[in-house]
Structure 1
Amino acid sequence: MLTIKCAKCKSKLFKYKKIGQGRVLRCWKSKITRLYDGEVKGKNFVCKSCGNIIAEIKDDRLDMNSDAFTYSGTKIRK
């Protein structure tokens, strides 16, 4: 389980169930288990604290901006 955090202000955004050892490029909405401090503005997912754009929202996923977030935790092996 990964905890996704804002790269600017370090506030927690959401918990994500990452399966596989690859990079975090997309987050599927069905695998987000808990939402902390993020909000939807138009077609973007942004941090409430600082307004940093974390991802672009598509139909069933978030296309992550790799410079806008950090994460901690462990990835689940396939």
Structure 2
Amino acid sequence: MAKPNKKGPTRTVDISCSKCRAPLYKYRKGGKGALVKCFIERIVDDHTHSVGQCPGCGQVFARQTLIRGTPAYKIIGGKVQMK
């Protein structure tokens, strides 16, 4: 399998918690589909204190994994909003 593009997309999206609306990440996302995974190298601003846990309400929204040999966060469905 091919690795994700190193340069990455230029469009950034704001990712926030769907429960308490706390900001989580500013992320360079490619494509127009739903947010399923976040490659760690594409995260511009990280507002979380621990991996995959909301700083506001403590809800777990992601799991750390390897996707195509690259470290990423696998997003749990319905736990985050993208703007």
TM-score of the superposition, structure 2-length normalised? Answer: 0.76
**In 2: Cα distance, 1:39 partner to 1:21 partner:** 28
Consecutive unaligned residues of structure 1, counting only runs of 5 or more, are 73-78
Within 5 A, what are the aligned runs for 1:1-78?
A: 1-36=12-47, 38-40=48-50, 44-59=51-66, 60-72=71-83
Measure, in 2, the Cα distance between the counterparts of 1:50 and 1:61: 22
Deviation at 1:54, TM superposition (A): 1.0
Q: Which has the higher strand share?
A: 1
RMSD (CA atoms): 1.1
1:39: Cα distance to partner? 2.6
Percent identity (aligned): 24
Which gives a bigger RCO, structure 1 or 2 (Cα 8 Å, sep 6+)?
1
Q: Count matched residues.
A: 68
TM-score (norm 1): 0.80
**Large movers: runs of 4+ above 2 Å:** none
Computing the radius of gyration from Cα coordinates, the structure with the larger value is: 2
